[in-house]
């Protein structure tokens, strides 16, 4: 499975308002492993960045003057993405800008070139509702080292997001099980089988004091719900039969 973690930097916040992409950073994952086959462009947007944007990415207008236009790298960029799952944090923002750049070069929308787009911001909000889910916040929460991120940069942010994505989806890793021999191989580690039938587990019953405390809790629940708790009703036939 080929995945591309992608990030952009822009002159401002509105693609429809005339803002343009100034940097694209892409990091490739194959079977959830970094390959080192990354792609990175600085682009001449044909306009100056807003002051607010400059404070975020720190890429000066002068630095971009001799960089290529998006149209000059579009084919290389699309060939690199071809058929991959694209992973972006706050995907509508980056995809909106990319689609605008593609439109200006007379090319179809990004969805025509990639398999799918996964938004890690949506994933994070589902996993951590009510919490901050910026890239920096996720790096801190998931113990991804972002100490080198003093300013936003597309390639650095894509590399950080790749680590964040792997951590967000770590529970989805499939376990490789091979049962041909006496051992099972799990994720590259040999785990010996254990015959649990050799063990007798002790049954520890509740003491009278513990049972009394339990009954008191059930009584309080009965009062709060104005009826018997479900588990007491389920126990009634057993008590009657006894």
Cα 38 to Cα 5, 28, 81, distances in angstroms: 9, 6, 11
In the set 40, 50, 89, 152, the catalytic residue is 152
Rg (C-alpha) for the chain, rounded Å, is: 28
Distance separating alpha carbons of residues 29 and 127, to the nearest angstrom: 22
Phi, psi of 212 (to 5 degrees): -65, -45
Distance separating alpha carbons of residues 105 and 232, to the nearest angstrom: 71
Instruction: State the angle between helix axes of 208-225 and 230-241 in degrees (0 to 180), rounded to the nearest 10.
Output: 120
57 is catalytic: no
Write the DSSP assignment of 54-116 as a string of letters: HHHH---HHHHTTSPPHHHHHHHHHHHHTTPEEEETTHHHHHHHHHHHHHHTT---GGGTSSE
> Which residue numbers are catalytic?
152
């Amino acid at each position: 499975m080929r995945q591309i973690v992608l990030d952009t930097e822009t002159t401002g916040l509105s693609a429809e308002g005339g803002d343009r992409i100034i940097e694209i950073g892409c990091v490739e994952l194959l079977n959830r492993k970094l390959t080192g086959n990354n792609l990175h462009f600085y682009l001449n947007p044909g306009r100056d960045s807003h002051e607010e944007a400059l404070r975020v990415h720190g890429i000066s207008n002068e630095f971009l003057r001799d960089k290529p236009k998006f149209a000059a790298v579009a084919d290389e960029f699309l060939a690199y993405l071809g058929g991959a799952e694209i992973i972006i944090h706050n995907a509508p923002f980056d995809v909106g800008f990319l689609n605008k750049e593609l439109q200006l070069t007379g090319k179809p929308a990004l969805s025509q070139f990639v398999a799918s787009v996964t938004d890690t911001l949506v994933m994070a909000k589902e996993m951590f509702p009510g919490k901050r889910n910026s890239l920096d916040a996720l790096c801190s929460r998931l113990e991804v080292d972002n100490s080198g991120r003093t300013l936003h940069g597309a390639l650095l942010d894509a590399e950080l997001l790749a680590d964040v994505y792997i951590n967000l989806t770590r529970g989805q890793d499939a376990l490789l099980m091979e049962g041909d021999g006496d051992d099972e191989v799990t994720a590259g580690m040999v785990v010996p089988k254990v015959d649990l039938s050799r063990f007798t587990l002790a049954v520890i019953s509740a003491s009278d004091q513990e049972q009394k405390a339990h009954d008191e809790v059930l009584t309080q629940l009965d009062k709060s719900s104005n009826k018997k708790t479900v588990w007491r009703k389920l126990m009634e036939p057993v008590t009657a039969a006894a």
